[in-house]
A and B are shown apart, each in its own frame.
Chain A
Amino acid sequence: DVKVTQSSRYLVKRTGEKVFLECVQDMDHENMFWYRQDPGLGLRLIYFSYDVKMKEKGDIPEGYSVSREKKERFSLILESASTNQTSMYLCASSLFAGRETQYFGPGTRLLVL
């Protein structure tokens, strides 16, 4: 079974703090993704990575950065957290080939005060 884990289920941070969200997958997948999930908006892609040290902007990258130093780990960084970044953050991974299913982690619910 593919397993995608995220470092925290719940996180509370203050405005202006630097926030790190970690994601690890154990299936040697090339692709990894960070989404945010908001009611009525579905999932929106923040960043994705198709290889170590490679990253591509998704649809809403502003205010976020990412890091992929190892194949199994993909980090999302909020350089200076703001209240409008309060959301559920989902990590996913997939094999490189175009038809492959994305597998999701349990999510991190972030509250920025």
Chain B
Amino acid sequence: AQSVSQHNHHVILSEAASLELGCNYSYGGTVNLFWYVQYPGQHLQLLLKYFSGDPLVKGIKGFEAEFIKSKFSFNLRKPSVQWSDTAEYFCAVKPLGAAGNKLTFGGGTRVLVKP
């Protein structure tokens, strides 16, 4: 079965610092890739997604992610974080052909941005 690994469980950084969250998956075939975010007290919501084409994907709130097929990675980045980026971030992978649009999620990374 495929798995998704997020390397950091907790990240603490100051405002204006750069953020990079790692995500690696184990599936060898073609995949769709997602980053979801859960702000405190809010629903899980989609940050960005990759299906095909340009491996550098831009999402909402200044986030971007780069798909590196050879490394089975889909790392999330933001050049300059704000206090409002404090949240938990989840990487998710859907192998093409997976029944019912099933996603496999990573364990999540809690990000705390200090003002």
Contacts and interface: CB of A to CB of B under 8 A. Distances in A.
A20 interface: no
Given A90-B44, A98-B32, A99-B51, A31 B106 contact: no
A48 interface: yes
Contacts of A106: 42-43
Interface of A: 4, 31, 35, 39-45, 48-50, 56, 58-59, 90, 92, 94, 96-102, 104-107
B56 interface: no
19 contacts: A35-B105, A39-B108, A40-B107, A41-B107, A42-B105, A43-B92, A45-B102, A48-B100, A49-B100, A50-B100, A56-B99, A59-B1, A59-B104, A98-B98, A99-B51, A102-B103, A104-B36, A106-B42, A107-B43
A105 B43 contact: yes
Contacts of B7: none
Interface residues of B, number: 30
A106 B40 CA distance: 11
B101 A100 contact: yes
Contact of A48 (B92, B102, B104): B102
